[in-house]
């Protein structure tokens, strides 16, 4: 993946974590082919933020750590009616950096609390963000009420607390916006 629109998309993970740097951006479905394949349409976006830090090891030396947060909403196909359903996402993930892929794989098996990934001088931040966005997608998104007859008199408080299916009716302004933009 090459740098786009002048924004930085690769980092030197060693320098980034030593300086405690932070990098932020916005992921749009139209820019991410692997993510886009899983979505209902191009609407929505995820704001992301990546932060680096070093943590001292008890035995000496230090580990590079990355923390990634993702927040926003995307349109997923409803598993029942296949129409778009807006899906909010809010994820924080932490990683420990290893020098080589072999070391990352070995450490990842031993490490329960944090993922171990391979760092480097040309670490592709957007690929990491897209990977995490894909992994954070819910497996079976569906509308709270889907037009299908759902008659559950014994469903209890959980059913009563469900929102009144706002996603069923397309927002006229969103439709207008898409018409103005034309086919993509």
Binding site for Zn ion (CB under 5 A): 78, 80-81, 143, 146
Instruction: Kindly tell me which of 96 and 143 has the beta carbon lying closer to Zn ion.
Output: 143
Cα distance between residue 13 and residue 32, in whole Å: 22
Instruction: Kindly tell me which of 44 and 119 has the beta carbon lying closer to Zn ion.
Output: 44
Kindly state the smallest distance separating residue 146's Cβ from Zn ion, in Å: 4
Instruction: Kindly tell me which of 135 and 148 has the beta carbon lying closer to Zn ion.
Output: 148
Kindly state the smallest distance separating residue 147's Cβ from Zn ion, in Å: 7
CA nearest to 108, candidates 121, 122, 98: 98
Kindly state the smallest distance separating residue 112's Cβ from Zn ion, in Å: 37
Strand order in the sheet with 115-118: 22-27, 44-56, 62-77, 84-98, 115-118
Instruction: Kindly tell me which of 39 and 104 has the beta carbon lying closer to Zn ion.
Output: 39
Kindly state the smallest distance separating residue 184's Cβ from Zn ion, in Å: 23
Cα distance between residue 8 and residue 120, in whole Å: 15
CB 44 within 8 A of CB 29: yes
Query: Which residue sits closest to Zn ion, CB atoms considered?
Result: 78
Instruction: Kindly tell me which of 30 and 138 has the beta carbon lying closer to Zn ion.
Output: 138
Cα distance between residue 89 and residue 46, in whole Å: 8
**Three state DSSP letters for 19-41:** CCCEEEEEECHHHCHHHHCCCCC
Kindly state the smallest distance separating residue 81's Cβ from Zn ion, in Å: 3
């Amino acid at each position: 993946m090459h740098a786009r629109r002048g924004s930085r998309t690769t980092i030197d993970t060693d320098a980034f974590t030593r300086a405690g740097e932070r990098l932020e951006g916005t992921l749009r479905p139209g820019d991410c082919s692997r993510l886009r394949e899983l979505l209902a349409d191009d609407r929505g976006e995820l704001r992301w933020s990546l932060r680096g830090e070093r943590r001292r090891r008890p035995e000496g030396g230090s580990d590079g750590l990355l923390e990634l947060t993702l927040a926003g909403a995307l349109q997923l196909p409803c598993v029942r009616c296949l129409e778009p359903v807006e899906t909010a996402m809010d994820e924080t993930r932490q990683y420990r950096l290893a020098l080589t892929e072999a070391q990352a794989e070995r450490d990842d098996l031993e490490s329960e609390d944090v993922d171990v990934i391979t760092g480097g001088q040309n670490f592709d931040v957007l690929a990491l963000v897209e990977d995490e966005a894909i992994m954070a997608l819910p497996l079976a998104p569906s509308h709270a009420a889907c037009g299908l007859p759902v008659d559950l008199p014994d469903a209890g408080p959980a059913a009563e607390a469900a929102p009144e299916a706002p996603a069923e009716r397309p927002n006229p302004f969103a439709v207008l916006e898409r018409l103005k933009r034309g086919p993509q």
